[in-house]
Every structure is written in structure tokens, then in C-alpha cells.
Structure 1
Amino acid sequence: MIEIINAWPVFLLIFIRVTSFFVTVPLFSYRNIPAVHKVGFSFFLSYIMFFTIEHPIIEIDEKFFLLLLKEILVGLLLGLIAFMVMSAVQIAGGFIDFQMGFAIANVIDPQTGAQSPIMGQYLYTFAMLLMLSIDAHHLLLDGIFYSYKFIPLNELSISLGSEKLAALIAKTFGTMFIIAFQMSIPIVGCLFLVDLALGITARTVPQLNIFVVGLPVKILASFFILLAVLPAFMFLFEKLFESMILSMRSLLQIFGGL
């Protein structure tokens, strides 16, 4: 009975970190997954991790409530940095939509409940399917599992004011925009040439209403270009997943003082 009472604080800390992680991490935090399933999955995953990781004896005192806040913060930030990297797909879709003429027509993403560009939502669906097909979502679970090696349960302080953390955030934003640019540049570049051709046509054939003809031509050309470069997107998606896992590991190393 005494062992069970001593185990409850440790299990609660594990459960809080895992649940906070599932609030912000891609795929597991989406709104179309019922909250009961999220809590249940967090509970059973925490139950397995409780018997797997090494944990000290923790008592419920004033320090315990500070540990709860630390676990919430670690889980949220770990999932948030993964979500930041995956946002590169939405940014690339915004670049493409602006050039295609779809920038005014945003859609509601049923997964996050926020407005997203049409092409961004289309590419994001492909990215999520690829993540499931190559088992990259298991690496997300590995990230929360191995986080206890970098940030023990009884460790109260984390390096939030470190210069390395600011450098990591800047590097993550840079990587996100670079990958978004690499995804969008084939379509955006080709549409620029289409705009150039339409401009030349408007000067050489003044009788042609270029505003009426130009938009359907750009949309049709965009679909053909997207169909041609879609296989190359899969390699960029794999690079995106790799950057996501590396960013999570770097964040854990900074929090662990490494």
C-alpha cells in the first residue's frame, strides 16, 4: 500500500508531461481525434513508461506543484517546436496560393480549427499520410519517451534563459522557411514565367482580355506543374520530418543543460 502511495506522484508527473505533449504535437493534437481517446492514450502510454523509465521517489509537497508546472511546460514546448517545423508545409501552400490566385480563398482546417491556404491543406494531408506510412509518428513518441533521460522527473530547473535556446528557435524558424521555399519554388517559379508570357501576350495582342484569360491559364498550369513535382515533395517531407526530430532532440539537450 505504501509503494502505491509513493508511486502516484511519479505517475502523475509522467501523465502530465505526456498529456501536455499531445496538446501541441502534430497528428496527435488534432481536433478530429476525440478528447477521450487522447486522454486514454496518454494514460496507457504513461502507464507503460512508468514501468520502463527509472524514477526516484517523489513526495507531494510544495516542490511537487512546481514539478507539475515544469512538466506542463516541457510537454507543451516539445510538441510546439515539432508543430513549428511542420508549419513549413502551410507556409509553402500560402506562397503557392498567392501566385495561383487562391490567396483569397482560405479553408477551415478540420484538424486544427484554423484557416489555412487551399494548397497548404492539400500538401499537409500528403505530409501526414507520408508520416504515417514511414512510421515517423513513432519517432514523436520516442521523443517524449527519451525526454526523461535529458530532463529527469525530480529536476526542477530547465534552461529557459539560455542563449542556445534563442539560437535554436532562430535556427528552427530559418529551417522552416527554407524548406517552405524549396517546396514552393518550382511552382512559384514556373508561374512567374507564365506571368511573363501573359505580359508579353498582352503587349503583342492588345485585343485579348488578359485578365479574363490569365487566371484560368495560371490555375491550369499550376495543376500540371504540381502533378509533375509532387514526387519530389516526398523527399522534402522526409527532410522536414528529420528536421523536426533533430529540433526536438536539440531542445531536450538545451533543457537538460547539455
Structure 2
Amino acid sequence: MAGLELIAIRFLLATARFTPVLAVPALTPFAFVPVFVRLALLLAVGLLTAGVAPVQTGLAGIDQPIALGVALLGEMAMGLTLALAVVLPGAAIGMAANVVDVQSGASAVSIFNPSMRTAESMTGTAMQWVAALVFFALGLHLFLLRWVLASTRFAPLGSAFLAITPGAFVSLLGSQFLLGLAVVAPVILGLLGVDLAVAFASRSMPQANIYFVALPLKIAAAFLLLAADLRYAPELIGRVYSQAFGAISTGGP
């Protein structure tokens, strides 16, 4: 295989592996970065990897399109596995925040996300922004870049595979959502106390329409509890990401 062809194939394989982690908006932590910056980062990391990363012996060439296509699909599967370490913590924290939205009654308010063209919950969006800030504040974006580059050592280009078993994935899914629920557990318990107080008041004064009185009270209580919870949330959010990175690295939680 000629040198130029080998470099081009290595670049294609590296780009296929890193695209989910660095460029796809729904998977990457750089979703709020302009698309041109993401593409430039992807090209830079792909070129760097093509030059220095180890490659599987007997790499398929352009004259073997089927084998090359299978190798590219394997690299994309590897990239999706790596992206789980970013997607699952964000999804877990967003799901837990949505529980707070429903419990407080703020779920009637939605925020339009122009980048994804979807309507998102208010508390869920706020918690996902906090998770993104914690991700960058802890330097996990630099760790992510080193991590995806280091993946070429245990899975050389052209030999990638789905690096997590279905059982390990299900176990990781459960542990991530439990940790995500722990982030907003104080808010959920506080709102439960408010609900109990409102229920007691409703039974004591059945002639009063307690619901319309309690609704703004619950929303205000949710914001106050959330503001207090955010003081301790960064440490828990860091644990969520650390657990996900460790689980993906070892193939299980």
C-alpha cells in the first residue's frame, strides 16, 4: 500500500472513530461550540492520530471497499461507545431535573433549543448547563481528548469494536441514572415535604382552592431548593462523569 493511500485510510478510520465524540451535536460535550470549530478540532485530531497512532496489520485498502467499509463501521461503533461517557451523565442529570419540573409544576414552561430544534424543560436545561460547566471546569474536556487518543493503543485503527457488552451497558445505565437522581434528591425530597404540607392544608380547609395557592409556592420552593442544591451538585456531577469514564474504559461499571 502506497504511503499516501495509507495516510488517507488512517485518517478516514480516525475520523470515523472521533466523529461521535467531537462533532455530533447530540453526543459531544462541544455541542454549543460552532460547527466550524468542531470540524476543525475533528480534522486536527484525525490528522494527528493518522500520523502517530498504531494501525492493525493487514489494513484494508481502497481496492477492498467491503473490508474498508466494515473497518469504518467498527470505528464508528467504537466512537459511539466512547461517546457514552459524555451522553449518559448528561441524560441522567437531565432526566432527574425533569422529575423536579414535573413535581414542581414548572413542566408547563418549555425553552426552545435552536441548535437541536427541540423544546426542553426549564430545570432540565439549567441542570444540563451546570453539568456542562462542571465538565469544563474540572478539565474533563482535556481528559476526553487524551482519552480518545489513548483508545488507539488498546484498539489500533482498523481493529475497533463495540467496547462494552450489553450486560455492562445495562448496568452502567442503571448506575448513571441513580447517580443523576442523587444530584437533585434534596430538591425532590423538599418538594415532597411541600406536597405533604399542601395536602394537610387541603384536608383542613376543604372549601379553599389550595391548588392555585400552592402552585406558585411549589415553583418558588423548587427554585430555592435548587439554588441550595447547586452548592453541592458539582462534586456529585464530577462523580457521575468519573464513573462513566471509568466504566467505559474497563468495559463495565
Q: Deviations over 1:1-47 (max 9, x none)?
A: x433332212221122222432253322x2x4333322221111112
Specify the alignment match of 1:256 in structure 2: none
Whether contact under 8 Å (1:106, 1:116) holds in the other structure is: yes
Specify the alignment match of 2:27 in structure 1: 25
Q: Deviations over 1:51-90 (max 9, x none)?
A: 3322357432322222122212221332145312321111
1-structure distance, mates of 2:120, 2:19: 26
Whether contact under 8 Å (2:27, 2:83) holds in the other structure is: yes
2-structure distance, mates of 1:12, 1:159: 18
Specify the alignment match of 2:50 in structure 1: 50
Specify the alignment match of 2:62 in structure 1: 60
Identity between Structure 1 and Structure 2 (%): 23
1-structure distance, mates of 2:117, 2:248: 24
1-structure distance, mates of 2:224, 2:85: 34
Residue 25 of structure 1 aligns to which amino acid in structure 2?
Answer: L
1-structure distance, mates of 2:243, 2:9: 34
Question: Per the alignment, do residues 116 and 212 of structure 1 end up closer, same or farther by CA in structure 2, a change over 3 Å counting?
Answer: same
- CA RMSD in angstroms comes to 2.5
2-structure distance, mates of 1:69, 1:18: 12
Whether contact under 8 Å (1:92, 1:180) holds in the other structure is: yes
Shift in Å at residue 193 of structure 1? 1.1
Give the TM-score taking structure 2 as reference length.
Answer: 0.86
Specify the alignment match of 2:120 in structure 1: 116
Could you tell me which runs of 5 or more consecutive residues in structure 2 were left unpaired when the two chains were aligned: none
Shift in Å at residue 111 of structure 1? 4.8
Could you tell me which runs of 5 or more consecutive residues in structure 1 were left unpaired when the two chains were aligned: 254-258
My pick for the range that moved more, 172-181 or 200-209, is: 200-209
My pick for the range that moved more, 2-11 or 146-155, is: 2-11
Shift in Å at residue 187 of structure 1? 1.1
Question: Per the alignment, do residues 108 and 138 of structure 1 end up closer, same or farther by CA in structure 2, a change over 3 Å counting?
Answer: same
2-structure distance, mates of 1:66, 1:85: 30
Residue 124 of structure 2 aligns to which amino acid in structure 1?
Answer: G
Specify the alignment match of 1:141 in structure 2: 145
Shift in Å at residue 210 of structure 1? 0.5
Residue 234 of structure 1 aligns to which amino acid in structure 2?
Answer: P
SS at match of 1:68: helix
1-structure distance, mates of 2:234, 2:199: 33
* Residue of 159, 165, 172 corresponding to 1:155: 159
Residue 40 of structure 1 aligns to which amino acid in structure 2?
Answer: A
The count of residues paired between Structure 1 and Structure 2 equals: 247
Specify the alignment match of 2:177 in structure 1: 177
